[in-house]
Structure 1
Amino acid sequence: MGDIRITDLAEPVLTDQQQAILDFGETLSTDFDPESILSEACSTLGLKDFGPAEFRERLDLLCDEWGNDEGLTGIGRFNLRNKLLTFAKSRLLIQDLLKRHPEIYAEEISEPIIVVGLPRTGTTHMLNLLAADSRLRSLPLWESYEPVPVPGEATLPDGTDPRYQRCADSWQAMQSTTPLIAAMHPMNPDHIHEELELQGPDFGSYNFEWLAHSPRWRDHYYATDQTPRYAYMKTVLKLLQWQDKQRSGSSYQTKRWVLKCPQHLEQLPVLMNTFPDATVVVTHRDPVAVIQSTITMLAYGQRMGRKKVLIQELADYWSERVAHLLQRCVEDRHLLAENKSIDSLFHEFMADDMGMVEKIYEKAGLELTDKARAQMGSYIDAHPRGKHGSVIYNLREDFGIDPNGLRERFQFYFEKFPVRVEAR
Structure 2
Amino acid sequence: MRWPYRALSAAFGIADAVVPKAWLPSTQPDALIEAAGANPAPAAREGLRHLITAIDADSKLTFFGKVSLRWDMIRLLRNAQHVEDAQRDPAIASAPVQAPIFVLGLPRSGTTFLHSLLAEDRDNQVPRNWQMIYPGKRPDDFNPQTDRRARAVDKQLKLFAGLAPGFAGMHPITADSPQECSEITAHVFQSLRFDTTFRVPTYLRWVEAHGHHEAFAFHKRFLQYLQAGVPARWVLKCPDHTFSLDAILAVYPDARFVVVHRDPIAVLGSVAHLTEVLRRPFLSNIDPAEIGAQVGARWIEGANLLLAFDRRPDVEPVRKIHVHYEELTGSPLTVIERIYNQFSLKLRAQAVAAISEKIAARPRGGYGNHAPYSLESFKLSPQALQTQFAPYVSQYCR
Q: TM-score, normalised by structure 1?
A: 0.84
Q: CA 1:302/1:242 → structure 2, altered by over 3 Å: closer, same or farther?
A: closer
SS class of match (2:186) = helix
* Superposed counterparts of 1:137-148, under 5 Å: 137-148=125-136
How many Å apart are 1:348 and its aligned residue?
1.7
- 2:298 corresponds to which of 300, 317, 321: 321
> What's the counterpart of residue 26 of structure 2?
31
> What's the counterpart of residue 57 of structure 2?
68
> What's the counterpart of residue 87 of structure 2?
98
- 2:10 corresponds to which of 15, 19, 28: 19
* Segment drifting more, 14-23 vs 137-146: 14-23
* Superposed counterparts of 1:175-254, under 5 Å: 175-242=161-228, 245=230, 254=231
Unaligned runs of 5+ in 1: 1-5, 7-13, 43-47, 150-157, 246-253
Contact 1:284 1:346 in 2 (8 A): yes
1:408 aligns to 2:393 (yes or no): no
> What's the counterpart of residue 35 of structure 2?
40
> What's the counterpart of residue 277 of structure 2?
300
Q: Deviations over 1:15-34 (max 9, x none)?
A: 45422232235536252211
- 1:351 corresponds to which of 316, 330, 333: 330
Contact 1:117 1:282 in 2 (8 A): yes
Counterparts of 1:63 and 1:361 in 2: how far apart (Å)? Answer: 43
> What's the counterpart of residue 58 of structure 1?
47
Amino acid at match of 1:75: F
Q: CA 1:402/1:68 → structure 2, altered by over 3 Å: closer, same or farther?
A: closer
How many Å apart are 1:273 and its aligned residue?
2.5
> What's the counterpart of residue 371 of structure 2?
392
Q: Deviations over 1:307-350 (max 9, x none)?
A: 24311110011111111222222112222311121111112222
Contact 2:198 2:283 in 1 (8 A): no
Let me know the Cα RMSD of the aligned residues: 2.4
Counterparts of 1:322 and 1:68 in 2: how far apart (Å)? Answer: 25
- 1:113 corresponds to which of 92, 101, 106: 101
How many Å apart are 1:173 and its aligned residue?
0.6
SS class of match (1:395) = coil
Amino acid at match of 2:382: P
Amino acid at match of 1:169: K
Percent identical across equivalent pairs? 26
Amino acid at match of 1:193: Q
* Segment drifting more, 378-387 vs 138-147: 378-387
How many Å apart are 1:161 and its aligned residue?
4.2
SS class of match (2:235) = strand
> What's the counterpart of residue 258 of structure 1?
235
How many Å apart are 1:233 and its aligned residue?
0.3
Counterparts of 1:286 and 1:215 in 2: how far apart (Å)? Answer: 27
Q: CA 1:404/1:411 → structure 2, altered by over 3 Å: closer, same or farther?
A: same
Amino acid at match of 2:30: E
How many Å apart are 1:148 and its aligned residue?
4.3
Amino acid at match of 1:257: W
> What's the counterpart of residue 10 of structure 1?
none
Amino acid at match of 1:326: A
